[in-house]
Structure 1
């Protein structure tokens, strides 16, 4: 079942990407999914969003480690290619890129997942920190082609304060 985000956010999808109901595309637990318009060898690149209020003593690297462990439960050959802490002290973020092999649609596929963890303060209670996770999953062959779209997307993710621009 799709899960709501712990805080409202706003973002802009790259041209051509279309929203899809998380439960209908096998992404239960996600709050949002967008699909690329051009599948590669039967696999559709996707952007997925979820988030949580982590315990105060859990940092972004620990959350990234947990994501790797969860992926090990459904995929094989999970490798963390790189991980970087980015952002600022006020707005920390972490990026990591993983490769893995998984059976999707009855076929084994070599996939790449770029993950971005964005820490934000809860606009209703600034003492609380929320982490919004965004993922790009694509075939190894298509990943570098769709990565600029994902980077553009991540730059637009921000808390939705309800203010009209």
Structure 2
């Protein structure tokens, strides 16, 4: 059962990507998942969105470190390949790329996960900051092919204030 995000967001999926059916994604913390239309070597690239309200004073780097440790609980050879803080003081963000080996559908895959962490202000309580994590997981061979689509997706993410034009 998918969870809900701490703040509503809107986004545009890359062309061809499809929302995953809830039964396809059994990660309890995932609020939304989409899948690429063409699997690679039996693994389907996916985009996931999750988030929460971190404790006061917790940095995006600390949240990213915790994410690495969670991944190590079920994957092998987890390595932080790249990490960079981006954004501004008012809208901080962090990107990181992880490489790891994991079993999916009974087969071992060499995978890459690109993660983007965003802090968004809770519109109902501006003193609270919500964290949103956007992640792309793909095989090592397919990652570079789908990365630009993921970057376009990330650029489309915005707080949803309920206004429609």
Q: TM-score range by the shorter chain?
A: over 0.9
SS of structure 2 residue aligned to 1:74? coil
- Residues 127, 68 of structure 1: alpha-carbon distance in 2 compared, 3 angstrom cutoff: same
TM-score (norm 2): 0.97
> What pairs up with 1:23-38 in 2 under 5 angstroms?
23-38=23-38
- Residues 26, 117 of structure 1: alpha-carbon distance in 2 compared, 3 angstrom cutoff: same
List structure 1 segments (4+ residues) > 3 angstroms apart after TM superposition: none
Q: Which residue of 2 aligns with 1:159?
A: 159
Q: CA deviation at 1:152?
A: 0.2
SS of structure 1 residue aligned to 2:73? helix
SS of structure 1 residue aligned to 2:80? strand
Q: CA RMSD in A?
A: 0.9
Q: Which residue of 2 aligns with 1:149?
A: 149
Give the gaps of 5 or more residues in structure 2.
none
Q: Which residue of 2 aligns with 1:133?
A: 133
Q: CA deviation at 1:164?
A: 1.4
Q: For the residues of structure 2 that align with 1:32 and 1:55, how far apart are their CA atoms?
A: 23
| Deviation per residue, 1:74-124 (Å, 9 max, x gap) | 100000001000000010000000000001000011000000001110111
Q: Which residue of 2 aligns with 1:7?
A: 7
